[in-house]
Amino acid sequence: MEISHIYIDLFEQKKRVAYAVLNESRKTISLDEVFVKAKYRGKRIGRKIVRFVQAYAKKKKKAIVLMADSFDKRRSSAQLAMWYQKQGFKIVKQYNDGVTSMKWER
């Protein structure tokens, strides 16, 4: 199975302020990581990245899968899963460690 790795970087004045890592297979796009620097959080940058990935997935006729697992001490994995639900993702499975498997379909 061939997998394409896609990296999205957002810059402001030549400084990287956010990025996303995707892995695209024949049927799905795995949204492996989204990171926004603390100084730029709350400015809807993460939402813009997710909307961009959703538009890309829709164009390619693919579903998006992800594991909602927060590495930010200020936001729990459950809070992150709730945020993704607001972006149209559905819960597939919740694990005992708080990680949530999620999916978005066009």
Question: What local confidence, expressed as pLDDT, does residue 78 receive?
Answer: 83
- What is the SS3 assignment for 57? helix
Distance CA 17, CA 86 (A): 23
Q: What is the pLDDT of residues 75-106, one digit of tens each?
A: 778 888 888 999 999 989 888 877 888 888 87
Nearest to 102 by CA among 72, 76, 69: 69
pTM for this model (two decimals): 0.85
Distance CA 9, CA 91 (A): 27
Distance CA 64, CA 29 (A): 5
Distance CA 67, CA 55 (A): 19
Distance CA 29, CA 38 (A): 26
Amino acid at 29: I
